[in-house]
Structure 1
Amino acid sequence: MSEKGAVTVARTVLQQCLRATLQIERGMVIYICFFKGATDDILPKMVSSLLNLRLCESDSGKMVSVAELPGSLLIVPQATLGGKCKGRAMQYHNNISKEDGLRLYGAFVSLCERELTAAAVTVKHGTYGNRQVLKLDTNGPYTHLMEF
């Protein structure tokens, strides 16, 4: 979703799932990482793009957005999405500061919750800055990378 020539300020990975622990049902997982330069201005575009993208398969086999499902959305902060390989190690110099990342992550989660209040979708989210164990069942590798 980054426009040609624009600087990437956030990266997300979307994963369709059948079930993910944190006890969510059919739905979608969003892994999210903010880079230096990210501001609140990008959040509405991210939320709109991610929640309206038709990536989920309904019971009838039709592709629908997560907002059209009875299910769940799991948001996972994933700073490792900002890593770049240097030699045999990963470096994260382009990631936003922890304080700014925490604030943007909280605002992103709140916007998702607000957008999905009318839908039959439960929003769950991980804790920013903590390692989290995630168990995920999926019906195939159906992962998408989106940059903003």
Structure 2
Amino acid sequence: MRALIQRVTSAQVHVDGDLIGECAAGVLVLVCAMQGDTDDQPAKLAAKIAKLRIFKDDDGRMNRSLLDISGQALVVSQFTLAADTSRGNRPGFSAAASPEDGNRLYESFATEMGALVPTQTGQFGADMAVSLVNDGPVTIWMDTDA
């Protein structure tokens, strides 16, 4: 699985103008299931993100985790993280998991995050409008295959 983690002071996701998910201080996680991803990867990725020390301590150093600050998560599916831009000008997305596998792994990841920190989600496969206030900015790329 691939994830793009953004430290935020707030984030929201809308579908058809309706607010469907939001978070206060914490992380916005854009997540993509890849071909070959297994059922154990969502739990491992969620645990890693929850423990990632990207929040400031009292000395201003990134030394606290999402768990340490009692932060929140907004999890949004984003198959475009699978983009292959190596040929031509139009990205290919054949490395992304099938929609069925992608949705199952996305839902599993959101459930695993929700077991660790307060979590809301976007809507798999929907055309979403995501807004955020990036804190720092701090943006981290993670891939379970790396």
Unaligned runs of 5+ in 2: 13-20
Q: What are the equivalent positions in structure 2 for 1:92-107 lying under 5 Å apart?
A: 92-107=93-108
Q: Is the 8 A contact 1:53 1:65 kept in 2?
A: yes
One-letter amino acid of the structure 1 residue matched with residue 99 of structure 2: K
Check the 8 A contact 2:31/2:76 in 1, yes or no: yes
Is the Cα contact below 8 Å between 2:83 and 2:91 reproduced in 1? yes
Q: Secondary structure at the match of 2:130?
A: coil
1:86-126, Cα deviation, whole Å (9 max, x unpaired):
2010100111000111011111111111123xxxxx21111
Shift of 1:52: 0.6
TM-score if structure 2 supplies the norm length?
0.84
Q: Name the structure 1 match of 2:2.
A: 11
- Farther off after superposition, 102-111 or 49-58: 49-58
**TM-score (norm: length of structure 1):** 0.83
Indicate the structure with greater strand content.
Answer: 2
Residue aligning to 1:52:
51
User: Sequence identity, in percent?
Assistant: 28
CA distance in 2, matches of 1:140, 1:126: 23
- Are 2:124 and 1:128 equivalent residues in the alignment? yes
* Structure 2 counterpart of 1:119: none
**Is the CA contact (8 Å cut-off) linking 1:28 and 1:56 kept in structure 2?**
no
RMSD: 1.7
1:34 aligns with 2:26: no
2:76 is aligned with 1:76: yes
The 1-side partners of 2:3 and 2:22 are apart by 22
Which residue of 121, 136, 140 maps to 2:136? Answer: 140
Change (3 A) 1:47 1:130: same
